[in-house]
């Protein structure tokens, strides 16, 4: 925009804003449940400007307003629970981001494509979920790339280590400065979280709902970490989405720069 006039810059910004509003309206129009929670808006994440987010790991997070949340799920795809998770999200017309394990994606490519066809963002979470901090940099990046290639193969039928959605989350949130720098140079945004349901611990769906909502009331906004292979999370999710709706929380859908919407993909 360096050579653009002030009026041209304002027009360009207005056009971008209008397009994002149009996406949100299209999503609302597609929703058959008029009383659903819905997806309130789309937030475009540019890794060049936002290389790392999530206050559990980094100083900064996404620019969310009060009562706005981003739903993220780790460790899928997992057919036994993902069908329930996807059904709950669809019932409330909500879109989320799934950080997928490459080996599972290679075993269940049809489920990866279903997630994408429903408009969810498909992101990356290594090949076999190792703690990358304890691997050599070469082995760590090889596992990252193998995971990316597996997800890209499931989505597009061709292995590619340049992700179509350049979003990545470290297993256990354990990173190293060298890997963070390497991913930033590759244009891949690293996602932490702002709070989580601690669903790696054994608990009932009711206990998880209580824990998560109590943390949400304190945080008031942020990136939420859940795990879609967890049966207790799949069972808890419909009640949690109702809680968000009844307490005036809004769900924000994150997409990378240049992403197509679900309606675009079906044309």
Annotated catalytic residues are 74, 227
CA 204 and chain centroid, separation: 24
Strand, helix or coil for residue 110: helix
What's the DSSP call for residue 256? Answer: E
Return the H-helix or E-strand segment holding 207: helix 205-219
Return the H-helix or E-strand segment holding 252: strand 250-256
Q: Where are the alpha helices (DSSP H) in 92-160?
A: 102-107, 109-117, 137-156
Whole-number Å distance between alpha carbons of 106 and 155? 10
SS3 content of the chain, % helix, strand, coil (to 5): 45, 15, 35
Question: Strand locations in 8-133, DSSP E?
Answer: 39-45, 52-53, 68-74, 97-100, 121-124
Whole-number Å distance between alpha carbons of 94 and 96? 7
User: 144 is written with which tokens?
Assistant: 């990252």
Whole-number Å distance between alpha carbons of 150 and 101? 9
Dihedral of the alpha carbons of 99, 104, 109, 111, in degrees to the nearest 10: -60
Strand, helix or coil for residue 164: coil
214 Cβ contact list (under 8 Å, min separation 6)? none
């Amino acid at each position: 925009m360096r050579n653009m006039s002030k009026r041209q810059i304002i027009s360009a910004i207005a056009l971008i804003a209008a397009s994002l509003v149009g996406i949100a309206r299209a999503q609302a129009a597609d929703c058959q449940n008029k009383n659903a929670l819905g997806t309130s808006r789309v937030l475009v994440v540019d890794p060049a400007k936002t290389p790392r987010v999530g206050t559990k790991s980094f100083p900064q997070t996404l620019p969310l307003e009060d009562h706005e949340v981003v739903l993220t799920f780790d460790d899928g795809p997992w057919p036994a629970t993902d069908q329930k998770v996807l059904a709950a999200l669809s019932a409330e017309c909500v879109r989320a981001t799934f950080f997928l394990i490459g080996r599972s994606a290679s075993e269940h490519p049809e489920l990866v494509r279903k997630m994408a066809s429903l408009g969810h963002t498909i992101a990356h979470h290594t090949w076999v979920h190792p703690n990358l901090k304890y691997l050599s940099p070469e082995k760590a990046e090889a596992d990252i790339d193998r995971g990316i290639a597996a997800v890209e193969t499931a989505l597009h039928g061709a292995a590619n280590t340049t992700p179509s959605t350049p979003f990545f989350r470290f297993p256990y949130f354990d990173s190293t400065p060298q890997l963070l720098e390497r991913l930033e140079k590759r244009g891949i945004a690293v996602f932490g979280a702002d709070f989580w349901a601690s669903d790696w611990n054994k608990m009932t769906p009711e206990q998880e709902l209580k824990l998560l909502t109590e943390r949400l009331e304190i945080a008031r906004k942020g990136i939420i970490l859940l795990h879609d292979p967890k049966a207790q999370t799949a069972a808890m999710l419909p009640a949690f989405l109702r809680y968000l709706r009844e307490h005036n929380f809004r769900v924000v859908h994150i997409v990378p720069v240049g992403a197509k919407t679900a309606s675009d993909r079906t044309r």
